[in-house]
Amino acid sequence: MAQEAFIKAYRALPQFRGESAFYTWLYRIAINTARNWLAQNNRRPSTPSAQENEDGETFDATDNLTDSSNPESEMASRQIAETVNKAINDLPEELRNAIVMREIDGMTYEDIAESMSCPIGTVRSRIFRAREAIAIRLRPLLGDTGDRRW
């Protein structure tokens, strides 16, 4: 997918008008390429459970990161990670895209608004609604009664 996205971007370089950041333009091409592939192959996008560091090495967030952890805390961490991933996957597409761009990709609200072609207020609303939906799923695992905002 990445290679195909870069080829499409290279071919479309003459059409790049500079009205947005190059990163945003390239990101939109990559997202559309991936969506088209998923649609052609009848698949849903997944959320990444692994993070990549600058050396290209990946680590799974559910891996044992300290020697002092016990099986109970490891199980709780796995349950939380699975619940968050499932909650993100179950979100409507516009909420899922907004929360992934913000929390996983680390994009600014302005870049997300530009990428999603919507006002910044809409982006803020989508991210808020996505966080609330995820929090509802996490409350039972964390023993929270829901009487406070996260």
Domain CATH code at residue 140: 1.10.10.10
Domain for residue 51, yes or no?
A: no
Distance of CA 135 to the CA centre of its chain: 16
Residues 16 and 81 in one domain: no
| CA dist., res. 89 & res. 134, Å (int) | 10
Q: Which amino acid is at 8?
A: K
pLDDT of residue 45: 56
- Which range among 68-72, 86-90, 128-132 shows the weakest confidence by mean pLDDT? 68-72
Structure confidence at residue 149 (pLDDT): 56
Q: How many domains are contained in the chain? A: 2
**Per-residue model confidence (pLDDT) at position 54:** 45
Amino acid in the structure at residue 37: W
- pLDDT top residue among 15 and 133: 133
Note whether 81 and 128 are same-domain residues.
Answer: yes
Residue 114 located in a structural domain: yes
Q: How far from the centroid of its chain's Cα atoms is residue 19's Cα?
A: 25
For 19, the domain range is 1-45
Q: What is the pLDDT of residues 103-149, one digit of tens each?
A: 888 889 999 999 999 999 999 999 999 999 988 888 887 776 665 55
Q: What is the pTM assigned to this prediction?
A: 0.53
* Angle CA 22–28–32, to nearest 5: 150
Confidence of residue 93 (pLDDT cuts 50, 70, 90): very high
Cβ 111 vs Cβ 25: under 8 Å: no
Structural domain contains residue 60:
no
Residue pLDDT, tens place only, 20-52: 777 788 888 888 888 888 878 876 655 554 444
Q: Give helix 22-40 / helix 2-12 axis angle, nearest 10°.
A: 130
In a domain, 95, yes or no: yes
